[in-house]
Amino acid sequence: MKKIKIILCILCLLIPFPAFALEVEIASSNMVLYNLNEDKIIAAKGEDEPVSIASMTKIMTTLVAIEHIQDMEEEVTLTGKVFEGLVEANASVAGFRWGQKVTYRDLVYGAFLPSGADATNALALFLAGGQEPFVKWMNEKAQSLGLKNTHFVNTSGLDCEGHYSTVKEVAIFLKEALKNEMFREVFETKTYVTHDGSMTFHSTLSSTLSRYHLEADYILGAKTGYTYDAGRCLASIAYDEAHDIYYLLVTARAPIQPSYYHVTDAIHIYEYYFQNYGYQKIFSKGEALLSLDTKDAKEDSVSITMPEDVSFYLKLDSSRDDFHVDYDGISVVTPQMKIGDTLGSLHITYQGEEIKTIPVVLEQKLTFSYSRYFKERPMLVLGICLGFLLLLFLLRLFFYFRKLKKNHKRLRFKRKKNI
């Protein structure tokens, strides 16, 4: 028996999954973890709370600077104004010197890798004329991204009233920044040598890992941060090679001492999800889910199948039994239906919670069957037969009376003639 094809309109074969509660004990009070394959939050804690974000600010500073630099190799000479207030603020610096000639590329890497406030001051001064107009660019960029709980007052991230964001919004502008090829290159760089070879910058994450003998090669890039109000902060991306999943993690307000808690938090979170979560194929291509009856068609039934493999991001020890598929729609398909008509929906639930609704539409028209049409309507057939018999009876009656009338006329004619 030839079966009619049904297409399941699945918007995404890697089905988005509900966010999970954080299952790892960490020192940071605020965090958000994204599965970048789906651009979806999978764990969070205090993600919408406005907090100081320290040098994670330099993610936005660096992005805005890159967007305004015309030539990365252009040289500028550092003036005394670049270094004003840095010592008093106890700001971290890259180590540039007064009178030094540097390229914009040197300043970008100096701002990001060693988290140099001297570099961010220089970028603001040479690109915008000072901190205030440059910070205005940063806030305009935040507004363009729809960030409601982010506001910048300086380019370095030093604690200041009115300078704040949330870990969720830091993740949002980091994701935006990573779309920029130059920014991503800077973000993923571990070591950089200035154009004249006089200085070498190491990323603050690499320095921390080395200092405390920690290993996290799967972290592709990161920006650390530290102030008294913000505590220890970290924004990073990592790659789970075993499951081919990219993650983005932002943490804030880890204790200041010991000075590696923000890094160990990231290690604990990443490794837990690497070991316990991944994509599992729950539905296979061609798998029959249910069969619908047909009416007035040559085909007896319509089989609804999965057109492709469907995977879910979930705990690796999850069972297929945790999933259930319910069909909500018409139970009988007829040839009168057109290609593209919606038949109903498949509701996929996981442990009692609906996680996906899949529309089911008709892809090919059914073939009309006269024999089945009448077979399925015996009363109609009986009515037609009776009607036909009645018609025959009436016709027979009509011709009988017509003949009788003719005979009557003929008899009258004969009598009249004999007279």
The structural domains of the chain, with segments of one domain joined by +, span: 6-13+281-368, 28-254, 377-418
With a cut of 80, say whether residue 363 has pLDDT above it.
no
Spatial separation of the C-alpha atoms in residues 164 and 229, rounded to whole Å = 10
pLDDT at residue 72 tops 80: yes
The count of other CB atoms within 10 Å of the CB of residue 293 is 12
* pLDDT interval class at 10 (50, 70, 90): very low
Is the per-residue pLDDT at 138 higher than 80? yes
Q: Which residues contact 398 (CB under 8 A, 6 or more apart)?
A: none
What three-state secondary structure class fits 277? strand
- β pairing state of 75-77 and 332-333: unpaired
Residue 178 has pLDDT above 50, yes or no: yes
Contacts of 145 (CB under 8 A, 6+ apart): 172, 173, 176
Each as own residue / partner, the long-range contacts of residues 126-132 (CB below 8 Å, 24 or more positions apart, any chain) are 126/76, 127/65, 127/68, 127/69, 128/68, 131/155
Active site residues: 55, 58, 115
pLDDT at 9: 40
- The C-alpha atoms of residue 6 and residue 140 are separated, in whole angstroms, by 49
Q: DSSP 3-state assignment of 328? A: strand
Q: Output 161 or 353, whichever has higher pLDDT.
A: 161
User: Into which CATH architecture does domain 28-254 fall?
Assistant: 3-Layer(aba) Sandwich (3.40)
What is the β-pairing status of strands 245-254 and 30-35?
antiparallel
pLDDT tier for residue 7 given thresholds of 50, 70 and 90: very low
The answer to whether residue 271 scores a pLDDT higher than 80 is yes
pLDDT in the model for residue 255: 95
| pLDDT at position 305 | 73
367 φ/ψ angles, rounded to the nearest 5 degrees = -90, 125
pLDDT at residue 19, as a whole number = 56
| Cα(236)–Cα(193) distance, integer angstroms | 22
Top-level CATH class of 6-13+281-368?
Answer: mainly beta
CA distances from 66 to 130, 149, 297 (A): 16, 24, 65
Average pLDDT of 142-158? 97
Q: How far lies 85's CA from each of 55, 113, 276, in Å?
A: 17, 21, 48
pLDDT of res. 225: 96
As given in the structure block, the two tokens for residue 299 are 């085909």
pLDDT of residue 13: 43
342 or 308, which is more confident? 342
Is a pLDDT exceeding 90 seen at residue 391? no
Q: Report the candidate in 267, 250, 258, 223 with the shortest Cα–Cα distance to residue 30.
A: 250
Q: How confident is the model at residue 381 (pLDDT cuts 50, 70, 90)?
A: low
What tens digit of pLDDT does each residue of 274-330 get? Answer: 999 999 888 787 777 778 888 888 888 887 776 677 788 888 888 778 888 888 888
56 close to 223: Cβ distance less than 8 angstroms: yes
Higher pLDDT, 386 or 50: 50
Q: For residue 5, is pLDDT > 70?
A: no
pTM, to two decimals: 0.78
Helices (H), 178-260: 181-187, 204-211
Contact present, 50 and 174 (Cβ < 8 Å): no
Q: Which residues contact residue 369 at a Cβ distance below 8 angstroms, ignoring those fewer than 6 apart?
A: 296, 297, 298
Please give the mean pLDDT across all residues of the chain: 88
Mean pLDDT over 331-340 rounds to 86
Q: Where are the beta strands (DSSP E) in 241-309?
A: 245-254, 277-283, 288-294, 301-305
Question: Does this chain's domain 6-13+281-368 share its CATH topology with 28-254?
Answer: no
Among 23-27, 164-168, 349-353, which stretch is predicted with the lowest mean pLDDT?
Answer: 349-353
Distance, CA of 248 to CA of 236 (rounded, Å): 6
Sequence-distant (6+) residues with CB within 8 A of 4 are 294, 299, 302, 303, 333, 362, 363, 364, 366
Residue 146 pLDDT > 50: yes
Most confident of 280-294, 328-342, 398-412: 328-342
Give the Cβ contact number of residue 324 at 10 Å: 13
State residue 416's pLDDT score: 65
Q: Which helix (H) or strand (E) holds 40?
A: strand 40-45
What pLDDT score does 168 carry? 98
CA 232 to CA 223: how far, in whole Å? 11
Question: What is the average per-residue pLDDT within 94-116?
Answer: 97
Closest CA to 57 of 162, 206, 129, 200: 162
Q: What percent of the chain has pLDDT over 90?
A: 59
The confidence score (pLDDT) of residue 307 equals 64
- What pLDDT shows up at residue 262? 96
Question: Given this model, what pLDDT does residue 330 score?
Answer: 87
The stretch 322-342 carries a mean pLDDT of 85
pLDDT digits (tens, 9 = 90+) for 198-242: 999 999 999 999 999 999 999 999 999 999 999 999 999 999 999
Whether the pLDDT of residue 12 is over 50: the answer is no
Q: Is 122 helix (H, G, I), strand (E, B) or coil?
A: helix
Interacting residues of 267 by C-beta distance below 8 A, sequence separation 6+: 214, 216
Q: What is the mean pLDDT of residues 385-401?
A: 83
